[in-house]
Amino acid sequence: MQLSKHIAQGKLLYLHQGEENLSVWENKYFRWLAFNNDKGEQVIQSVMHRRKPWQLTLPHQTALLLPLLFFKPQNVVELGLGGGNIDRFLAYTCTDISIKSIEYSASVIESFSQYFNPEKEEIEIIHHNSHDWLVQNKNNNMDWLICDIYQHKEQDADETIKQLENLLANIDSNGCLSINLPDATDTEVNLCLTVLQQLSRDHNIVYFHIPNYLNIVIHLIPKHWQTFKLLKRNKNCFLPRRLFLQWRKFWQHGSEVGKQITFK
């Protein structure tokens, strides 16, 4: 059964009316975080399985975490907390890992702490604007920068380029960058891919279009990673064997931007 049918009905747990219009809902099986978009429509941002809160519930989350096939990150920074699906999975699956989540919205942080961290995982949440935090922490030596920010309004090309430049300034040739574009047009996606290709010389770019969803996930993978070899067998991996084999199939659907920039 599709997830949308599972969360068709639920009771309201939390409501914050303001610029974000954030709400938290739940039924017997799931708890979810929703925003109202510019059209007044409710958009589900993240969904937590109540019995297995570490379980990924939306397909773009799996796509966003696919670099776990290749390395064991120790220092992960996520831009945009949301309902914390990425953080809960990393905290449950990975050992001896530092997780920082940069979140601008106090109401999102409050809802996560109260409703979306039932097992009290150790996640460092920093209440800050992500752009400003990156500027102030360029020497943070992060292994993996994950940009998973819900965007309420479209931004122009100059803002997109500036944001991408800021992201790239915070990873070195050994660092990995993963970006989730939640509702981008073909033009916006092609702009992102083109800018990333022009600015990044030390990384290969792989992107995924999530079937039946509006998400595009882009990864910048260090060129020295032997991904083809590691896909066959990788002992240096946090993922259990069953999950590794499953995610390996997902990775093979990616497209290298160096060979093809046009959006599919």
Tell me the C-alpha distance between 220 and 247, whole Å: 17
Structural domain harbouring 249: 59-256
Q: Are residues 81 and 40 in the same domain?
A: no
Give the whole-number percent of the chain exceeding pLDDT 90.
61
Tell me the C-alpha distance between 39 and 154, whole Å: 13
Q: Is the pLDDT of residue 2 over 90?
A: no
Q: Are residues 27 and 123 in the same domain?
A: no
Mean per-residue pLDDT over the chain, rounded: 87
Q: Are residues 164 and 227 in the same domain?
A: yes
pLDDT grade for 189, boundaries at 50, 70 and 90: confident
Q: What is the number of domains present in the chain?
A: 2
pLDDT grade for 261, boundaries at 50, 70 and 90: very low
202 inside domain: yes
Q: Is the pLDDT of residue 141 over 80?
A: no
| Tens digits of residue pLDDT in 162-178 | 889 999 999 999 999 99
| The pLDDT of residue 258 | 46
Q: Are residues 210 and 85 in the same domain?
A: yes
Q: Is the pLDDT of residue 203 over 90?
A: yes
263 Cβ neighbours under 8 A, 6+ residues apart: 186, 189, 190, 193, 209
| CATH of residue 216 | 3.40.50.150
Q: Which of 17-21, 67-71, 122-126 shows the lowest per-residue confidence on average (mean pLDDT)?
A: 17-21
Q: Are residues 145 and 191 in the same domain?
A: yes
The CA-based dihedral angle spanning residues 21, 27, 29, 33, taken in that order and rounded to the nearest 10 degrees: 0
Q: Are residues 42 and 75 in the same domain?
A: no
Q: Is the pLDDT of residue 161 over 70?
A: yes
| The pLDDT of residue 39 | 67
Q: Are residues 31 and 103 in the same domain?
A: no
Q: Are residues 101 and 227 in the same domain?
A: yes
36 inside domain: yes
Q: Are residues 144 and 202 in the same domain?
A: yes
| Tens digits of residue pLDDT in 231-259 | 988 888 999 999 999 999 889 876 555 44
Give the whole-number percent of the chain exceeding pLDDT 70.
88
173 inside domain: yes
pLDDT grade for 77, boundaries at 50, 70 and 90: very high
Alpha-carbon distances, residue 242 vs 33, 45, 116, 221, 233 (angstroms): 29, 27, 26, 23, 13
Tell me the C-alpha distance between 192 and 66, whole Å: 20
Q: Is the pLDDT of residue 221 over 90?
A: yes
Q: What is the 3-state secondary structure (H, E, C) of 177-241?
A: EEEEECCCCHHHHHHHHHHHHHHCCCEEEEEEECCCCCCEEEEEEECCCCHHHHHHCCCCCCCCH
132 inside domain: yes
Q: Is the pLDDT of residue 151 over 70?
A: no
- The pLDDT of 9-29, averaged and rounded, is 88
Q: Are residues 208 and 237 in the same domain?
A: yes
Q: Are residues 32 and 68 in the same domain?
A: no
Across 53-67, 137-151, 189-203, 204-218, which has the greatest mean pLDDT? 53-67
54 inside domain: no
261 inside domain: no
pLDDT grade for 40, boundaries at 50, 70 and 90: low
| The pLDDT of residue 35 | 87
Q: Are residues 93 and 44 in the same domain?
A: no
